[in-house]
Amino acid sequence: MKNIAVIGAGTMGNGIAHTFAQNRFKVNLIDISEASLKNGMGNIARNLDRMLAKEIITETQKENTLKNISTFTSIAEGVKNVSLVVEAATENVDLKLNIFKQLDQACNEDCILATNTSSISITQIAAATSRPDKVIGMHFMNPVPIMPLVEIIRGYNTSDAITKTIMELSKGLGKTPVEVNDFPGFVANRILMPMINESIETLYNGVAGVHEIDTVMKLGMAHPMGPLQLADFIGLDVCLSILNVMYDGFKNPKYAPCPLLVNMVRAGKLGVKSGEGFYNYSKSRKAEKIASQFLK
C-alpha cells in the first residue's frame, strides 16, 4: 500500500497528505477547488520549511515529500489505482455521504475507504457504499505531522482484517493508533468538546474572562493550550458541528452547545481561520504563532 488519495486540501487534508508523503507514500491530493489545492500545497511547503529550520527533516526529505504529492480536481481521476482513500472534507454528513458514494463507484473493489471525521457515524458513512466492511475511521489530530494520536474507529461492519491493516499502517506513519468503537464523538471529542463547551458557558455566565479561564486550565491542569484558545485553533464552527452531532446522537442536554458559541459562529467569528474568535489573530502572524507552539 504505497499509493493513496486524500480528499480535501484544507487544514486536515493537507496535513494528512504531508504525513503520508513524508513517509514515502505517493499521495493524490484531491479538491474541487484549484485555489484550495494551491493553498494546501503552500501550507505543506511552509510546514516543511519550519521542520527543516528546526532540523526535524533534511532538505532532501523536504524535496522528496513535495515530489510525492500530486494534485487533482476530479475524484475519478485522483483515486485511480490507489489502495487507500482518506476523506478529510468538511464535517458535514450529507457532503461525506455524497463523497463516499462517488468513491465507491470510482475506486477499485479492494480499495479501503477511510474518513477523518471527528464525530459522524462510521456505520452511517459505510452504508452509503457497497463495501461497508472496508470503511473505517482514521481520526488524525491537528497538526497532523506533529500529533502522534490516530483514533481508529470501527463501523458496525468494518472487518477485523481492515482494522488490523489500518492499525499497522498508522504505526508505519510513526503514529500511535487507538482502536475505538463507533459512538458519537468517539473518545477524543466525547471528552474534549464538553470541556470546551463548559469553558464557553463559564465565560457566558461571567465567571471569568477568556484569558483567566485559559490560564487556570494551563497552569492548574497542565494543559499546553487553554480550552478557549484550543477552540479557536480547532474552529468554532467545527466545535459547534461536533457538539450538534453528539447532542443529536445521545439526546443528552449536556452536549447542547452554549448560546455564545452558536452566536459567534453565526457572526463569522470562527477562530484562527477567520482571524477572530475568543482571541484576535492578525493575518500576518496567526499561522506562524499557532504552528510554532507545536514545533518547539
**Which residues belong to the active site?**
118, 139, 151, 189
Q: Evaluate the CA torsion angle 276, 248, 181, 111 in order and state its sign.
A: negative
| DSSP 8-class letter at 276 | B
Give the strand order in the sheet containing 69-72.
69-72, 26-30, 3-7, 84-87, 112-115, 135-140, 149-154, 176-181
The full DSSP string for 134-167 is: GEEEEEEPSSTTT--EEEEEE-TT--HHHHHHHH
| DSSP letter string, 189-216 | HHHHHHHHHHHHHHHHTTSS-HHHHHHI
Query: C-alpha grid cell for residue 133?
Result: 466492511
Q: Please answer whether residues 80 and 105 qualify as being in contact, where contact means their C-beta atoms are separated by less than 8 angstroms.
A: no
Q: How far apart are the C-alpha atoms of 131 and 102, rounded to whole Å?
A: 13
Distance CA 260, CA 20 (A): 38
Sign of CA dihedral 175, 158, 242, 220: negative
Cell of 97: 455521504
Those residues with Cβ within 8 angstroms of residue 38's Cβ, 6 or more apart along the chain or in another chain: none
